[in-house]
Structure formats: C-alpha cells, structure tokens
Amino acid sequence: MRPADERTDDCGSAVVEFTLVGILLTFLFLAVLQLGLALHVRNTLAAAAAEGARYGANADRDPGQGAAVTRQLIRDSLADSFADRVTAGVETVDGFQTVYVEVDATLPLVGLLGPPRAIQVRGHALEEAQ
C-alpha cells in the first residue's frame, strides 16, 4: 500500500481533460450555431425573393415593385446590407412569361460577416395577363 501523501502520475489530468473537451464542445456549439444562422439567412432571402416575384407578377404591377417589396421584407427580417443587391425582371420559361426577383447577398461565415455575393437566391412567378 502507498502512503496517503504519495502522488500518482495522473494527478491534475482531470483539469487538462476538462479544458480540452470544453474547448472542443464550445467550438462545435458555435459551428452549429453559425450553420443555423447561415440557413436562416438563406431561407429568409429565398422567401423574400419568392414573395417579391409573386407581388411583381400581379396584373397591375411591374417587376420593379416586386424588387421593392423584396428589399423591404429583407430589411424587416435581416440587416439592411442584405437588401443592397436585389434585381427583378421578366423572362420566358417554356413559353410562359415569368417575373423573377434575384438577390445576391453575403453568406454569413463569422457572425453576419462573410464573402460578398456568395449566396444567390431567385424567386419566380407566372406573370398575370392584364
């Protein structure tokens, strides 16, 4: 039997293990949180573009009004910088006139910061006849 005051080789290893595991878990938690933020931004932009395209496709409206609605929806939901590059127009798809609204935005990689124009979403709607 060892004397009570004799130290073993693994004395203090719990502190090191806790620190290493804590750092790893913190990193994983922040990565999942950032992924959730990026998906939220993408889904919000896609929904705003689709709603703007539907609004611009109404019989008494034009695509520019759809782009304006998209900008306002994005500003209401996210930071103003995400609404800077919104374009709209009319295109023919399979013989049908459609209105599109396209949003180019920053993909948030660290907080809301990231590479510009890294995410592009587009909403479409059939143009109503007047």
User: For residue 119, is it within any domain?
Assistant: yes
Mutual angle of helices 13-56 and 63-77, in 10-degree steps: 150
Confidence label for 2 from pLDDT (cuts 50, 70 and 90): low
Residue spans of alpha helices (H) in 1-130: 13-56, 63-77
Return the pLDDT at 87.
Answer: 95
Domain that holds residue 108: 13-126
Q: pLDDT tens for residues 45-82?
A: 999 999 999 999 998 899 999 999 999 999 999 989 89
Q: What share of the chain has pLDDT > 70, as a percent?
A: 93
Domain count, the chain: 1
